C-alpha cells in the first residue's frame, strides 16, 4: 500500500542506519555484559499505541504503530522501530485445542480459554501442539505474515506474548488444580509441564520461521539481541515459594533457555523472595519486573550476572541511573512520563520544547 511505503520512508529518514546501529550496539553491549558504548541505553515508552492490545483491524493496527513511531520525531533514545502483535491469553492454550473465551467488546475485551483439563487422565489426552485454522494461534501468525508482507520486510516484528508453561497450564486447568497436582501427583504435573514447554518451543520456532531476519525475540519492552535467547512470562511466580520454584518451575525455565541459548523471565507483581533463585537459573540472561524497583531487586539478590528490565518514571531518572552506576547493574530501561498526552497532533511548540529539555536531562543522567 502506498501509505505504508510513505510512512516507512519517513521512518527510515527519522531512524537512519547509523542511529539504529548505535542503539543496537548499546543494547547488545549491555546484554552481553560488555563495556558501554557511550552511555547506558534507554527508551521512552510508546505514546498512544497499546503494545499489548488485541487488534480489531490489522490495517488500523499497522497504521497506529507506524504513526506512533513517527510521532517520536527527533527524540533521541534507543528505541528501535519495530511492530508488535499484541497479547492474548488464549493463544498458547489454542495450540492444544482449548477454545477461546472472550468477555467484553472492543478494546476493553478480555480473552482467555475454556478449561480442557478436568482430571489427571486428561493430561495424556492432550493433542500434539498445532496451529489450526480459526484459532488465536493461527490469527497471530497470520497477523505477523500480514505485517511482514505489507511492510515488505522493512521493519522488524516481535514474537507474540506467549506466556510460560505454568501460566498456560493454569489457564487450561485452573491454578488450584495445577498446584494440587504438583503436590499430590508430581509425575503427572511434570508430564503436563513438559508438553506445554515443548509447545512453547514449537510455537516460538514457527514464528521465527515466518519472520526470518525480521524476527524480534522478545515480547517485552525494548529490542534485544538474538544472543539474549527467548523471553517467557511466569506471572504466577507471585503465588509460589522458592522451593516450589526450584522443583516445579525451574526445569521448564531451563528447558526453554537451553532450546534458545538463553531465557529472560517476566513476572508481574512483587516476588523478592524468588529473585536470588531466579538469578541462579542456568541459561538465564535477564528478568523483567514491572512492579519491583531496582533497590528492591538489589536487596533481594540481583547482581551483574543478570540483566534486569524495568520501568522508570521520568521524575526518578537521576535516582535510578545513579543506582545503576553505583551498583554496576546491567539494566534494560524504559522511561514513562515524557509525553504531554496521547495525542501528538495536539502538542504545541511549548510541549516540544519541554520534551526536548526532558530528553536532554535523561541523556545527562544516563551518561557514564
Model confidence at 361: pLDDT above 90: yes
- Rounded distance between C-alpha atoms, residue 219 and residue 157, angstroms: 10
CATH number assigned to the domain comprising residue 94:
3.20.20.210
Does residue 256 contact residue 159 with C-beta atoms inside 8 Å? no
Q: For residue range 252-295, what is the model confidence (pLDDT) as tens digits?
A: 999 999 999 999 999 988 899 999 999 999 999 998 988 888 99
With a CB cutoff of 8 Å and minimum separation 6, the contacts of 57 are: none
Q: For residue range 296-311, what is the model confidence (pLDDT) as tens digits?
A: 999 999 888 999 999 9
- Give the per-residue pLDDT at 282: 95
Domain of 98 in residue numbering reads as 2-366
- Give the per-residue pLDDT at 1: 83
Model confidence at 330: pLDDT above 90: yes
Does residue 362 contact residue 317 with C-beta atoms inside 8 Å? yes
pTM: 0.95
Indicate the number of domains in the chain. 1
Q: Which of 2, 13, 181 is nearest to 81 (CA)?
A: 13
pLDDT band at 56 (very low <50, low <70, confident <90, very high): confident
Please compute the mean of the pLDDT values over residues 313-324 and round it to a whole number.
96
Letter string b/e over residues 135-161, b meaning 16 or more CB atoms within 10 A of that residue's CB: bbbbbbbebbebbbebbeeebbbbbbb
- Range in 121-135, 184-198, 287-301 the model is least confident about: 287-301
Q: For residue range 148-178, what is the model confidence (pLDDT) as tens digits?
A: 999 999 999 999 998 999 999 999 999 999 9
- Give the per-residue pLDDT at 105: 81
Q: For residue range 91-114, what is the model confidence (pLDDT) as tens digits?
A: 999 999 999 998 888 777 888 999
- Give the per-residue pLDDT at 174: 96
- Give the per-residue pLDDT at 158: 97
Q: What is the mean pLDDT of the chain?
A: 95
- Rounded distance between C-alpha atoms, residue 209 and residue 304, angstroms: 33
Amino acid at each position: 500500500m502506498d501509505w505504508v511505503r510513505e510512512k516507512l520512508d519517513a521512518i527510515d529518514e527519522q531512524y537512519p542506519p547509523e542511529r539504529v546501529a548505535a542503539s543496537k550496539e548499546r543494547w547488545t553491549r549491555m546484554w552481553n555484559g560488555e563495556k558501554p558504548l557511550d552511555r547506558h541505553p534507554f527508551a521512552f515508552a510508546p505514546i498512544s499505541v497499546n503494545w499489548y492490545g488485541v487488534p480489531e483491524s490489522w490495517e488500523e493496527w499497522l497504521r497506529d504503530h507506524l504513526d506512533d513511531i513517527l510521532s517520536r520525531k527527533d527524540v533521541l533514545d534507543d528505541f528501535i522501530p519495530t511492530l508488535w502483535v499484541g497479547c492474548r491469553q488464549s493463544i498458547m492454550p489454542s495450540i492444544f485445542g482449548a477454545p477461546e473465551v472472550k468477555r467484553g467488546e472492543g478494546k476493553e475485551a478480555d480473552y482467555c480459554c475454556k478449561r480442557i483439563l478436568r482430571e489427571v487422565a486428561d493430561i495424556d489426552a492432550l493433542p500434539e501442539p498445532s496451529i489450526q485454522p480459526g484459532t488465536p494461534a493461527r490469527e497471530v501468525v497470520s497477523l505477523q505474515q500480514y505485517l511482514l508482507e505489507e511492510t515488505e520486510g522493512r521493519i522488524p516484528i516481535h514474537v507474540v506474548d506467549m506466556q510460560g508453561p505454568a501460566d498456560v497450564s493454569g489457564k487450561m486447568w485452573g491454578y488450584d488444580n495445577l498446584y494440587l497436582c504438583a503436590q499430590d501427583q508430581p509425575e503427572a504435573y511434570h508430564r503436563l509441564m513438559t508438553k506445554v514447554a515443548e509447545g512453547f518451543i514449537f510455537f516460538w520456532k514457527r514464528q521465527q520461521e515466518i519472520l526470518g531476519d525480521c524476527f524480534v525475540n522478545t515480547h517485552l519492552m525494548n529490542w534485544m539481541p538474538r544472543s539474549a535467547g527467548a523471553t517467557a512470562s511466569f506471572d504466577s511466580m507471585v503465588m509460589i515459594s522458592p522451593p516450589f520454584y526450584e522443583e516445579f518451575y525451574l526445569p521448564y525455565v531451563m528447558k526453554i533457555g537451553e532450546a534458545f541459548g538463553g531465557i529472560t523471565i517476566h513476572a508481574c507483581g512483587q516476588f523478592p523472595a524468588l529473585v536470588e533463585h531466579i538469578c541462579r537459573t542456568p541459561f538465564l540472561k535477564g528478568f523483567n519486573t514491572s512492579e519491583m524497583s531496582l533497590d528492591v531487586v538489589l536487596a533481594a539478590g540481583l547482581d551483574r550476572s543478570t540483566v534486569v528490565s524495568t520501568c522508570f518514571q521520568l521524575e526518578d531518572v537521576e535516582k535510578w541511573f545513579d543506582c545503576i552506576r553505583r551498583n554496576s547493574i546491567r539494566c534494560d530501561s524504559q522511561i514513562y512520563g515524557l509525553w504531554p498526552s496521547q495525542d501528538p497532533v495536539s502538542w504545541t511548540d511549548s510541549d516540544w520544547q519541554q520534551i526536548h529539555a526532558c530528553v536532554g536531562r535523561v541523556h545527562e543522567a544516563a551518561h557514564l
